[in-house]
Amino acid sequence: EHLMIEQHAAIWAGACTPISGIPMFWWWQVVDENDLYQRYAAVSNFMKDVDPRDVSSKSVDAVLTAGENADKSLLKKFAVVCTASPENVRGYIHPVRYARKGETPPVVEHLTVEIGGVTPGIFRVEFYDTQTGQPTRRFDARTKENLLPIPVPKFTSDCAFKGHLLTPVAKR
């Protein structure tokens, strides 16, 4: 169970760091015996239209914040891995401790992820289900004071997102 959790987390975190590919799982027998190949297909779907060779992409400190209706304890229970360039972002929001068999993963809502180092403007953002690799929500987000605040849709356990600049805002 632990290896299967680690494999899931590693490929999604790897997809959201500025490297040219996801980490290869040493325990290939676990992947084969448990038929975990669909996990790689999910990450592949997420990475469509992403160029991981973008030299302007860097790991960034993304900050999770809680809205007034949020359970503030979630901020200690979740973390985010994020890569950003001036025109693109991608990230993985994950629990610090994943639910084990018999445990119910938390339902998370009313969080925002804030990302710095992007071009001021409007970004098209998509959130993805990490089990299927399918988009779950798409919307536009506008930068504010040199940050891109992205409202995080309700999710269970973990989620991934990516975004690209649609319209830069002219400097005054």
pTM above 0.85, yes or no: yes
Provide DSSP, 117-157. Answer: SS-SEEEEEEEE-TTT--EEEEEEEE-BTTEEEEEEPPEES
Query: How many C-beta atoms surround the C-beta of residue 45 within 10 A?
Result: 14
Sequence-distant (6+) residues with CB within 8 A of 152 are 64, 93, 108, 109, 111, 112, 113, 127, 159, 161
Distance of alpha carbon 103 from alpha carbon 161, whole angstroms: 25
Res 31 pLDDT > 90: no
**pLDDT at residue number 133:** 96
Compute the chain's Rg from CA coordinates.
16
| Chain segment 115-170, per-residue pLDDT in tens | 999 999 999 999 999 999 999 999 999 999 889 999 999 999 999 999 999 998 87
Residue 137 token pair = 């929500």
Contact 134, 171 (CB under 8 A): no
Contact 74, 144 (CB under 8 A): no
Res 172 pLDDT > 70: no
**pLDDT at residue number 171:** 67
**pLDDT at residue number 4:** 85
Contact 15, 160 (CB under 8 A): yes
**pLDDT at residue number 16:** 95
**pLDDT at residue number 125:** 98
| Chain segment 55-100, per-residue pLDDT in tens | 999 999 999 999 888 889 999 999 999 999 999 999 999 999 998 9
* Residue-level length of the chain: 172
| Cα atoms in the Cβ-side hemisphere of radius 13 Å centred on 98 | 16
Res 113 pLDDT > 70: yes
Residue 12 token pair = 């999604």
